[in-house]
Structure 1
Amino acid sequence: MRAATRTGWSRADWAGTADAMLRSVRPFASPRHARITLPGPVGGYGTEVDGLEGFARTFLLAGFRIAGERGADPDNVAQFYAEGIAAGTDPTSPERWVRLDEHPQAKVEAASLALALDLTRPWLWDRLDPAVQDRVVAYLAPAVGDPTYPRINWVWFRLVVQAFLRSVGGPWSADDVAEDLATHDGFLREDGWMADGHERAFDHYVGWALHVYPLLWSRMPGAAGFAEARRERDTALLDRYLLDAVHLVGADGSPLVQGRSLTYRFAAAAPFWAGVLAEVPSTPPGVLRRAATGVVRHFVDRGALDERGLLSLGWHGRWPAIKQAYSGPGSPYWAVKGMLGLTLPADHPVWTADELPLPVERGDYVRAVRAPGWLVGGTAADGVVRVVNHGTDHAVTGDTKGDSPLYARYGYSTATSPLLDHDSWANPHDQAVVLVDAEGRTSHRSGMDVGVTEVVDVDGVTVGLGFSSGPVRWLEPDEAQQHHGSGWTGRHHDAGTVAVHSLVRGPWEVRLVRVDAVTEDHPPTALRLCGWAVAGADVVPTEGPCVQADDGTRSKLTVLLGQTTGSGVSRHEDAGPLGPVAAVPWAQLSVVPGEWSAALLELARDTAARSAEPEVRLDLDGPTTWVTTRWPDGARTRVALS
């Protein structure tokens, strides 16, 4: 076992971090350890759920540690959690756990309990008093036949619990297992990607839930008879997914800042460890270890663990506004999924092999990821990964919700966060193409028709192409919102129809926009194009619609086509987790239905000089529109729009 050549972490560093996290939560345990209620405001589901959540999620990490050490346990972690299990399952105890038939969140936490008990069977479960074992079975049993599990990643909570129950002689239902596996199979999209339900919901849950749970479930004794026929296929799907997933990690280890439950932070490392456990053939273990370690170190090195060693609600440090309605003070500890690699013992080859570079460390790329409709671009000069989004909105075609900043923006990256303040949920301000009305409202696009994402080679120059279009609308948000991550609900009013095409190369995107129709009863007053939001302790506007954060991250927007009526930089206080101030370059243009507008968007941390003024020209050749582009580095391309 040795330190990694790129991240500097050996298995001992992983283990030391995990052990410190487990020690740090002990002062917040109830007298018999059944509840671990961490400091902070009470979560949306109440303090009893908070206590169960704190126990179950840290117990999962304890399970990884005990399993990976083959029972060696100098901190007596197994006894600590065994005492909590005895009290939590005792219906007469003042520390008893909320039951699965009392609150839906208990169904989530029950899966972590079952996984950890399965992983530590010889050292914990087998040593529990038989009466406690019976109480555990009784506590988990309401999962059997329960029709209320949502048809999203929650099907795996029921699958995991029933697999454990079956392995210890408890109740289980073959019909439930078949139903849940069939539901999961319905999530499958192209290239190993899965949607979290029927909507275009693509986010970190694809990796840390919809690929990780099948792998762990398949290794549980209670999955016998079901898992064998699926194992080869599921491994192949994970293998293919990981080919894309490693392209989504920045050189600094940051995962993409996109999707809900971002406070789970380094849970984003979990699918890489799943790949190691499954021995996927297409991505070397050295790359998977590099990705996983980079993600965890990214957060550890940036203050995710506070002065008490606790994970707070936030991203790097504490930022409570990142929470969803279901978030409580113990919720961030689902980050421990990203420490799944600790189940691998010290003599496993992954700990002795050299780390290998991430794709973004090997060179520039642009990659089309078909299922979520993403063009993924990485640049080696600054290590930033960017996504241009033409297919993900946590909605379905024709939906009329508002745009979720977590899903429906045109761009996400490892260096920026979408604006997440109240006004940005109601009115998109960053990475957006919006119509603006006389009151200053900006339009929403969720429910759009998605087109193609592809990569083409133009005389040796690689360009990504993407397209989406559809009706856009003004939104009058409902006063009460669910706050689960999807777009806001409310009354909507049609604003028009907008088509957007993207050409992606290096740190740049040429964004082509055509307003095809506008409403006559409430016509828009302008078309606004909004660039990347950069954040930090301070952000400084520079020449033109351009802004630079104190860490050197620069966002610039240059209008290439259209009648510009104004431009500038908008400033937003406490609107995201990457710094107290965020800023966005924007430009406003006249609305001329049927006419093209275009802008060049840039996001970069490098200081390379640009050798040419960017230009775009559109030409019609019969039914085909050709786009000729001169890029800031002088390269030229000519491509046909889809």
Structure 2
Amino acid sequence: MNERRSASTRPAAMGQDSALSPYTGWTRAEWAALADRMLLAARRHASPSHALITPPGAPGGYGTRVDGLEGFARTFLLAGFRLAGEQGRDPLGLLPRYAEGIAAGTDPSSPERWVTPREHGQAKVEAASIALILDLTRPWLWDRLDGGVQERVVDYLAQVVGDQDYPRTNWLWFRIVVEQFLSSVSGPCSLADLRADLALHESFVRDGGWYSDGDERSFDHYCGWALHLYPILWSRMSGAAELAAPLLPQYTARLDRYLLDALQLVGADGSPLLQGRSLVYRFAAAAPFWVGAYAGTGTVEPGRLRRAASGILKHFVDRGAPDENGLLTLGWHHEWRRLAQNYSGPGSPYWAAKGMLGLALPAEHPVWTSTELPLPVEQEDRLAVLAAPGWALSSMVADGVVRVYNHGTDHARPGDRTGDSPLYARLGYSTATCPQLDEEGWDAPLDQSVVLLDGDGRATHRSGFETLAVAAVDGAAVLASRALCRWVDPDRTLPDHGSGRQGTAVDAAAVTTVSVVRGAWEVRCVRVDPAGAPGWNEVVELRVGGWPVSGTDPLSTYVGARSAGVVGPHSSIAVALSGFDRTGVHRAHDATPLGMWTATPVLHADPEPGAWMIAALALGGGEKAPQVRLSPSEPSPGTTSVSITWPDRAETVATLPAMPPPR
């Protein structure tokens, strides 16, 4: 296999190890130094007894008391990894400070006491981090705590036992981890709780080593930094071996398979995919690669795991996170509050500590001593179908960008009638672009969308769509979905947890969308069928949006008779191939965390019921667009085939779905 390095990969920095780490220059020393900087910076914002750590910033939606608990528990994760990897050596004096914080936090009479699991659900999340690190650092912290403090910790954590008020998502692991620790210190524990939660976890299993975060089509970074992370760490907790033994081979096998996909989702510049909620956790996206090292994966070499993890961390460090004060803010490269959910507070971003799990492994572990190996995006151009999330992945060595085309994920269930979440329901995501996340982006899907517009310019939503195809065909990927598209008047009083907004919905029409993908190009075929929808008479226009490009400066754009484009850090183009007769560029200000200016090429048409309308869209890809031809499908009477000639003269023939049955 070609091991050449991407042109977008930076050489190792001066003073770093270019022999051991030829792609990033980062070794364990750089990781440890950053962890220490972050811990010392957070320490400056601790309460007098260190029980609450509240970095500066506006309070989160759950209030300052929860913010302070989050700051303690999530930096405690990082401190615990650091201490475990050094076998308890503690030059920063972490142990006495966190011990004092635990004593005060669990003291009901302390002014710095923690919010309890009975008082607030978020305390159940933070309790898991505390329990996990108390187990990981047992000989240096738990075993040295005063007996009275130990009793108070048990009393605090025991509130989760038998508690049925846990969301049926990755939260199940928060109860498992806490009860496992309680069991190991002779505290209360319910075997029924553990078995029920482990069974629930199994219900989230999907093809190819993927997990869905609940029973919705919720595929995002939680698959790696939660649903693969906790099973492996739990299996190594004190006393877990017997219960974990029959399950661990399955957990490991799924992780092995998932890692092959996860590696392909990292850009050559180290950027994770900008998709899904909780992106403010940033380099937590590196967690599954360290979990692979922890589990001793046999499918990915240690040097490739570290290349991915170091690339992700370095991506953020090179671009301003942590900030000049050593703090993680709510944002991406820099502070950008809109990226967070409304419950997120100034302590929330420290779940990024999960991405520094590798520090818990000793310096002599192969993941630290092996030479870095390239990422998949740095080896060769790739096209892959990821069946579970309903994605096709396309990446090219030339630009190092990973593109994902989505016809299977929306953080909803088939038939749901919510609005679209721009974090989940867009037709495309990448490591170089971000969906528009301002109010317009939530209310009126535009980038990477197919929508119907009414006379007031209101755009329809597609969440709850039916996935029709996710397959490889003739050297391309073919994905298809059908949605009963609707206008949604959102209820703005409901909290934002990353899902599409609920509200009053009026159906406009059934819209079938097919994406045929190869290289940087997507041929997008769209058909509109009124299907008796009550809002059809209000439809005046069909609009297709391409890739959004964001930049720190205003972007260059062009609008022609058959195409429109944007040129900035990356180029985006939309070309009318059949049926579209109007072009344009949509501009937005401060709509993504990647830059103050965002522009998206768009195509417009008068929708013709039952007719296939075709566009070509590219992120990069040069000026020459694919050519298409529609014809009756020989194998399937009544259906249509699209023949595509790609810019490199390769050809693909795809059968387009038949019309939907009458409603």
Q: Structure 2: which 5+ runs fail to align? A: 1-16, 658-663
Aligned partner of 1:568 in structure 2 is 584
Contact 1:535 1:549 in 2 (8 A): no
Residue 497 (str. 1) matches residue 497 (str. 2): no
Contact 2:507 2:534 in 1 (8 A): no
Q: CA deviation at 1:549?
A: 4.9
Aligned partner of 2:607 in structure 1 is 591
SS of the counterpart of 2:419? coil
Per-residue CA deviation, residues 408-467 of structure 1 (Å, 9 max, x unaligned), is: 0000000000000111111101100001111100110100111221113x3xxx201101
Residue 445 (str. 1) matches residue 462 (str. 2): yes
Between the aligned partners of 2:627 and 2:139, the Cα distance in structure 1 is: 67
Q: 1:30 to 1:447 in 2, by over 3 A?
A: same
Among candidates 317, 326, 340, match of residue 323 of structure 1: 340
Aligned partner of 1:487 in structure 2 is 500
Between the aligned partners of 1:479 and 1:22, the Cα distance in structure 2 is: 37
Q: CA deviation at 1:13?
A: 0.4
SS of the counterpart of 1:49? helix
Between the aligned partners of 1:150 and 1:626, the Cα distance in structure 2 is: 44
Among candidates 534, 548, 557, match of residue 533 of structure 1: 548
- The residue type paired with residue 342 of structure 1 is L
Among candidates 619, 630, 646, match of residue 618 of structure 1: 630
Aligned partner of 2:57 in structure 1 is 40
Between the aligned partners of 1:543 and 1:425, the Cα distance in structure 2 is: 25
Q: TM-score, normalised by structure 2?
A: 0.94
Between the aligned partners of 1:248 and 1:614, the Cα distance in structure 2 is: 25
SS of the counterpart of 2:31? helix
SS of the counterpart of 1:81? helix
- The residue type paired with residue 427 of structure 1 is A
Contact 2:377 2:397 in 1 (8 A): yes
Per-residue CA deviation, residues 368-392 of structure 1 (Å, 9 max, x unaligned), is: 1011100011111000001100000
What's the C-alpha RMSD, in Å, of the aligned pairs?
Answer: 1.3
The residue correspondences of 1:617-636 to structure 2 (distance < 5 A) are 617-620=629-632, 621=634, 622-636=637-651
Aligned partner of 2:13 in structure 1 is none
- The residue type paired with residue 433 of structure 1 is V
Aligned residues: 632
Q: 1:92 to 1:543 in 2, by over 3 A?
A: same
- The residue type paired with residue 639 of structure 1 is A
Between the aligned partners of 2:386 and 2:366, the Cα distance in structure 1 is: 31
Aligned partner of 2:233 in structure 1 is 216
Task: Give the percent of matched residue pairs that are identical in Structure 1 and Structure 2.
Answer: 57
Between the aligned partners of 1:222 and 1:43, the Cα distance in structure 2 is: 36
Q: CA deviation at 1:180?
A: 0.4
Aligned partner of 2:14 in structure 1 is none
The residue correspondences of 1:221-370 to structure 2 (distance < 5 A) are 221-370=238-387
Q: Structure 1: which 5+ runs fail to align? A: none
Q: 1:529 to 1:609 in 2, by over 3 A?
A: closer
Aligned partner of 1:127 in structure 2 is 144
Aligned partner of 1:523 in structure 2 is 538
Between the aligned partners of 1:487 and 1:543, the Cα distance in structure 2 is: 32
Among candidates 633, 637, 641, match of residue 652 of structure 2: 637
- The residue type paired with residue 476 of structure 2 is V
Contact 1:61 1:337 in 2 (8 A): yes
Between the aligned partners of 2:448 and 2:494, the Cα distance in structure 1 is: 23
Between the aligned partners of 1:269 and 1:173, the Cα distance in structure 2 is: 32
Contact 2:284 2:352 in 1 (8 A): yes
Per-residue CA deviation, residues 35-69 of structure 1 (Å, 9 max, x unaligned), is: 00110001111111111000000000000000000
Between the aligned partners of 1:225 and 1:613, the Cα distance in structure 2 is: 59
SS of the counterpart of 1:135? helix
Q: CA deviation at 1:641?
A: 3.6
Residue 195 (str. 1) matches residue 208 (str. 2): no
The answer to which of 484-493 and 445-454 deviates more is 445-454
Q: CA deviation at 1:106?
A: 0.4
Q: 1:306 to 1:268 in 2, by over 3 A?
A: same
SS of the counterpart of 2:269? coil
Aligned partner of 2:10 in structure 1 is none
Between the aligned partners of 2:304 and 2:578, the Cα distance in structure 1 is: 42
SS of the counterpart of 2:462? coil
Contact 1:541 1:547 in 2 (8 A): yes
Contact 1:537 1:550 in 2 (8 A): no
Q: CA deviation at 1:520?
A: 5.6
Q: CA deviation at 1:635?
A: 2.8
SS of the counterpart of 1:222? coil
Aligned partner of 1:393 in structure 2 is 410
Between the aligned partners of 1:116 and 1:559, the Cα distance in structure 2 is: 56
Aligned partner of 1:24 in structure 2 is 41
